[in-house]
């Protein structure tokens, strides 16, 4: 069997009939009669299956018995033009090798399992059409992110996952420790002595690579990070994960307007990349889950995002006559219901909102001359709400130090960050794109647990 080179199903389906081929993959379905058996084979290279035709004059029932849904097989045969509809070519089998059988306890026997059920078998769900499509799109988007920045001369900077600082000042962090939790070393005042811990200090998993990213931007000019980030907020929503991937570009000499331009160009590039490169998978998701998916993607790349200030946004919401669950007033942190009203009902397109009250935003944002608002920006998307959060950074040493004091933050562990303002500081800006939020938009899936292979959420870390 091995004399013919294995080809992937995606390539076979596009190639010319009339030659010997070898395909390997997992059986999706099998049907037939006493004369012929039809097996749909999928190897993950495409949403489409290749049909394997076994004439029962060549195969015995015994040979076909282990070829069941879920089994892994290799097939040699002739690629022939298909007699049936739905495919151009199929494989007329000479020989089948069974690599791994799957008995009737294989959970993906039938089509049409609920997404909730599939979350309970996250180790097998990549073998479904839906998760095959989502995971291929996830890969394509990761690749496109690197391509976008590489083509623009940005450098990929690897920022640490273990850190002693809280970049967002939000306190929702997972602690990292090697101390004996039953019997931790104590200081004289009875508090835990972290100087005895592995890193000789209190450490956490990072909530954002931004602070280290800024040190990169103030040396290399334009950088981006792309890695996992961790938040221990107890939010059980369809848009929050405890472990999610974030893309964080950071650019020297960018003002807030340049930052907005880059964010808009970036998202449009990614959506266009998906439309240009993932159409088979998008079409499947469009047909199965969200009939407006492809139209929505096309409309985003052809419309200019609305740009409004927080103050204008609050006025629109106050004048909307709408009863919201959470009240709207100047100073309130906008909720997803408010964001979605602005995007889906008022503007009917993505919105970039800027100049938020400083009290609801992180310490590093540049304060406006009004001393009330900061140069922050959120990009708000239909169905998702906030997809990007970013800002121009405070580059002035004294102003930043006062802000840290004002917020009662621990300035000591940020000495290295403050040094960037002390030595050759520069205006700079950046933002963070939630990778899974982007994927929610691009795939049309409605729960963030369904766009990452192994979701981490409160009370759930199996697999
Ligand atoms: O708005 P956030 O908290 O901003 C930052 O972390 C900044 N340091 C980014 C920067 O300026 N470099 O998070 C950025 C984005 C959000 O807009 C959202 O898309 C996503 O990260 N995000 C989450 N995605 C999934 N689950 C969560 N729990 C998320 N929290 C934030
Ligand atoms: Mg935010």
**Beta bridge pairs of residue 218:** none
Separation between Cα atoms, residue 321 and residue 229, nearest integer Å: 38
Whether 177 contacts 198, CB under 8 Å: yes
Closest CA to 27 of 67, 78, 82: 67
Residue 208 is predicted with a pLDDT of 97
- The verdict on the CB of residue 231 being under 6 Å from ligand 1 is yes
Q: Please name the residue whose Cα sits nearest to atom 27 of ligand 1.
A: 240
95 Cβ contact partners less than 8 Å away, ≥ 6 residues apart: 1, 75, 76, 77
Whether 47 contacts 132, CB under 8 Å: yes
Residue 251 is predicted with a pLDDT of 99
Among 208, 235, 246, residue to substitute to test ligand 1 (most atoms within 8 Å of Cβ)? 246
Separation between Cα atoms, residue 144 and residue 147, nearest integer Å: 5
Q: Please name the residue whose Cα sits nearest to atom 18 of ligand 1.
A: 434
- The verdict on the CB of residue 167 being under 6 Å from ligand 1 is yes
Distance spanning both ends of the chain, measured CA to CA:
35
Number of C-alpha atoms within 13 angstroms, CB side, residue 244? 28
Separation between Cα atoms, residue 16 and residue 24, nearest integer Å: 18
Residue 2 is predicted with a pLDDT of 54
Q: How many angstroms is it from 189 CA to the middle of ligand 2?
A: 37
- The verdict on the CB of residue 419 being under 6 Å from ligand 1 is no
- The verdict on the CB of residue 388 being under 6 Å from ligand 1 is yes
Q: How many angstroms is it from 340 CA to the middle of ligand 2?
A: 15
- The verdict on the CB of residue 306 being under 6 Å from ligand 1 is no
- The verdict on the CB of residue 390 being under 6 Å from ligand 1 is yes
Spatial strand order of the sheet with 428-434 comes to 155-156, 222-230, 243-252, 428-434, 385-392, 373-381, 351-357, 306-309
Residue 412 is predicted with a pLDDT of 85
Dump the DSSP string for 205-262. Answer: E-S-SHHHHHHHHHHHSEEEEEEEEE------STT--SEEEEEEEEEET--HHHHHHH
Whether 93 contacts 77, CB under 8 Å: yes
Separation between Cα atoms, residue 357 and residue 393, nearest integer Å: 15
Q: How many angstroms is it from 66 CA to the middle of ligand 1?
A: 48
Dump the DSSP string for 92-103. Answer: EEEEEEEEE---
Residue 111 is predicted with a pLDDT of 77
- Location of structure tokens 């997803």: 336
- The verdict on the CB of residue 389 being under 6 Å from ligand 1 is yes
Ligand positioned closest to the Cα atom of 208: 1
Q: What is the pTM of this model?
A: 0.97
- CA distances to 61, 92, 256, 258, 327 from 55, rounded to whole Å, are 11, 8, 67, 64, 69
Each residue's pLDDT, cut to its tens digit, for the chain (463 residues) gives: 557 999 999 999 999 999 999 999 999 999 999 999 999 999 999 999 999 999 999 999 999 999 999 999 999 999 999 987 777 999 999 999 999 999 999 999 887 899 999 999 999 999 999 999 999 999 999 999 999 999 999 999 999 999 998 888 777 999 999 999 999 999 999 999 999 999 999 999 999 999 999 999 999 999 999 999 999 988 899 999 999 999 999 999 999 999 999 999 999 999 999 999 999 999 999 999 999 999 999 999 999 999 999 999 999 999 999 999 999 999 999 999 999 999 999 999 999 999 999 999 999 999 999 999 999 999 999 999 999 999 999 999 999 999 999 998 888 889 999 999 999 999 999 999 999 999 999 999 999 999 999 999 999 999 9
- The verdict on the CB of residue 285 being under 6 Å from ligand 1 is no
- The verdict on the CB of residue 437 being under 6 Å from ligand 1 is yes
Residue 86 is predicted with a pLDDT of 73
């Amino acid at each position: 069997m091995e004399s013919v080179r294995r080809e992937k199903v995606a390539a076979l389906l596009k190639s010319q009939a009339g030659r010997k081929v070898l395909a390997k993959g997992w059986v999706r379905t099998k049907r037939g009669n006493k004369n012929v058996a039809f097996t749909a084979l999928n190897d993950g290279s495409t949403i489409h299956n290749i049909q394997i035709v076994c004439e029962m004059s060549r195969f015995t029932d015994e040979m076909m018995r282990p070829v069941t849904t879920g089994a892994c097989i290799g097939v040699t045969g002739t690629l022939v033009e298909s007699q049936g509809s739905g495919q151009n070519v199929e494989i007329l089998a000479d020989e089948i090798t069974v690599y791994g059988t799957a008995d009737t306890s294989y959970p993906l026997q039938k089509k049409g399992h609920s997404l909730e059920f599939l979350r309970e078998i996250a180790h097998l769900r990549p073998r479904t059409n839906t998760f095959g499509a989502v995971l291929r799109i996830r890969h394509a988007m990761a690749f496109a992110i690197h391509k976008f920045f590489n083509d623009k001369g940005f450098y990929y900077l690897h920022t640490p996952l273990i850190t002693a600082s809280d970049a967002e000042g939000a306190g929702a962090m997972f602690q990292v420790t090697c101390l004996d939790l039953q019997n931790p070393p104590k200081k004289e005042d009875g508090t835990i002595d972290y100087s005895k811990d592995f890193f000789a200090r209190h450490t956490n998993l990072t909530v954002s690579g931004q602070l280290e990213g800024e040190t990169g931007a103030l040396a290399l000019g334009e950088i981006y990070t792309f890695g996992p980030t961790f938040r221990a907020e107890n939010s059980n929503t369809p848009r929050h994960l405890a472990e999610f991937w974030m893309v964080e570009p950071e650019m020297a000499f960018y003002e807030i307007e340049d930052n907005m331009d880059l964010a808009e160009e970036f998202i449009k590039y990614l959506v266009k990349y998906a439309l240009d490169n993932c159409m088979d998978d998008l079409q499947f998701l469009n047909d199965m889950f969200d009939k407006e998916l492809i139209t929505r993607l096309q409309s985003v790349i052809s419309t200019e995002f609305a740009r409004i200030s927080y103050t204008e946004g609050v006025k629109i919401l106050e004048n909307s006559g709408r009863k919201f669950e959470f009240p709207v007033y100047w100073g309130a942190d906008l909720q997803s219901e408010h964001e979605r009203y602005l995007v889906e009902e008022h503007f009917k397109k993505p919105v970039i909102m800027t100049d938020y009250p400083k009290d609801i935003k992180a310490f590093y944002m540049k304060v406006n001359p009004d001393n009330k608002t900061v140069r922050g920006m959120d990009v708000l998307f239909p169905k998702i709400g906030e997809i990007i959060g970013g800002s121009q950074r405070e580059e002035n040493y004294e102003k930043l130090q006062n802000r840290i004091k004002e917020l009662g933050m621990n300035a000591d562990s940020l000495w290295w960050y403050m040094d960037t303002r002390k030595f050759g500081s520069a205006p700079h800006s950046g933002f963070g794109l939630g990778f899974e939020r982007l994927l929610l938009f691009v795939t049309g899936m409605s729960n963030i647990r369904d766009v990452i292979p192994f979701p981490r959420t409160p009370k759930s870390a199996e697999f």
